[in-house]
Structure 1
Amino acid sequence: MDYYYSKNPQVSSNESTIKAHLRGNEWTFVSDAGVFSKKGIDFGSRLLVETIQITNGESLLDLGCGYGVVGIVLAYETPAGRILMTDINERAISLARKNCIINLVRNANQLVSDGFEQVPRTPFHHIALNPPIRAGKAKIYSMFEDSVQFLDEKGSFWIVMHKKHGAMSAVKKLESMYKTVEIVNKESGYQIIKATNG
């Protein structure tokens, strides 16, 4: 099966345009077949991007960025910051690059990476993750474990998960590696989890 969590989706390209209102602004995104939530911004990503607290000048890693919603919207709020958007899916990264241009975001870079494999070891103030559920728990939990090495000592790891996909188990897993783990927002079964060591 050719899932969005693959390097080169084999499904034929079929681009579409998505309009969205997020954090008080209007956005335009190009999506395509073979990427996550291709028909519209998923509820979890919407809740994540509306919840994250970021200050201008801070850095953010949008891990598993898809076509770029979270990274692009938050890059707009930190024009002096450093934003890195990564995904294993080459088509998604191509779209994220295109969507940065469409939305006039100039402080974000895009990188093809399986999890943290290609991410430079420069600490981030924030890491945002909407986990690839279809990749399985082992893959998701390895991302949790790796995240500690890529965060600033006072940095925040933000995750969105639905209760039925194991949000409460994820909290317990994160508690084994972070000092503070809290559910900072929740709606329609989705939980926004914030983990910090600061």
Structure 2
Amino acid sequence: MTEHYFSNSPETAHERAQFTFELKGKKFIFNTDSHVFSKNTIDFGSRVLIDAFDDSELPEGALLDVGCGYGPMGLSLAYSTGRFVEMVDVNERALGLAKENAAANGIEQVDIHVSSIYEVTNQESYAGIVSNPPIRAGKQVVHGILEGAYPLLKEGGSLTVVIQKKQGAPSAQKKMAEVFGNCEIVTKEKGYLILRSVKEA
């Protein structure tokens, strides 16, 4: 069986690595391993989303990072916003690394745990949900992330995702507009689109 970065318990041999990367003005240390998404550097899509994310108009409350991997989005947004961030993924190896990376970078206001999309969430509602969805897991999973966000968001809260144009951004944009009644392209860079929908009152 081929294992993917969205496998629950990868059994592939470990190939641990470490690198530093500046996000939101802080130099982060990231520990990574085989069988996690974008092992050798922060992937471009996540970087574009992190740069584009602005919480200034969001209500008070926590953020949720769906498919957090080893933690670059959730940890950098916890640092830059000062908000509590819940971080979920199906890949237990990635989650172990995310916990290590939170400790290594002194980020304490996080809750990192296993969940298949929104199966296990520990807050009643969120001010914002972010995701770099696992495109290779298929459209059903990606659209599950987009649809499932709506009931979990506070009024005025937003869902922000990054998707490549050639990997389904137009269909994601359409789905978000359907679910939320709005969808804005926040930024476009090298074929990556940052899409944001707001839960209106």
* TM-score normalised according to structure 1 size: 0.96
* Residue aligning to 1:95: 97
Verify the 8 A CA contact 2:67 2:132 in the aligned structure 1: yes
Q: Secondary structure at the match of 1:195?
A: strand
* Residue aligning to 1:181: 183
Equivalent AA in structure 2 for residue 7 of structure 1: N
For 1:67, which of 66, 70, 75 is the aligned residue? 70
* Residue aligning to 2:21: 20
C-alpha separation in 1, matches of 2:180 and 2:21 = 34
* Residue aligning to 2:34: 33
* Residue aligning to 1:110: 112
CA RMSD of aligned residues (A): 1.3
Verify the 8 A CA contact 1:7 1:89 in the aligned structure 2: yes
C-alpha separation in 1, matches of 2:81 and 2:42 = 22
Verify the 8 A CA contact 1:87 1:112 in the aligned structure 2: yes
Instruction: Give, in angstroms, the shift of residue 142 of structure 1.
Output: 1.3
Equivalent AA in structure 2 for residue 114 of structure 1: S
Unmatched tracts of structure 2, length 5 or more: none
Instruction: Give, in angstroms, the shift of residue 77 of structure 1.
Output: 2.0
Equivalent AA in structure 2 for residue 71 of structure 1: G
Identity %: 38
C-alpha separation in 1, matches of 2:123 and 2:77 = 21
* Residue aligning to 1:197: 199
* Residue aligning to 1:146: 148
* TM-score normalised according to structure 2 size: 0.94
Q: Secondary structure at the match of 1:114?
A: coil
Unmatched tracts of structure 1, length 5 or more: none
Verify the 8 A CA contact 2:153 2:199 in the aligned structure 1: no
Aligned length: 197
Q: Which moved more, 1:48-57 or 1:68-77?
A: 48-57
* Residue aligning to 1:45: 46
* Residue aligning to 1:54: 55
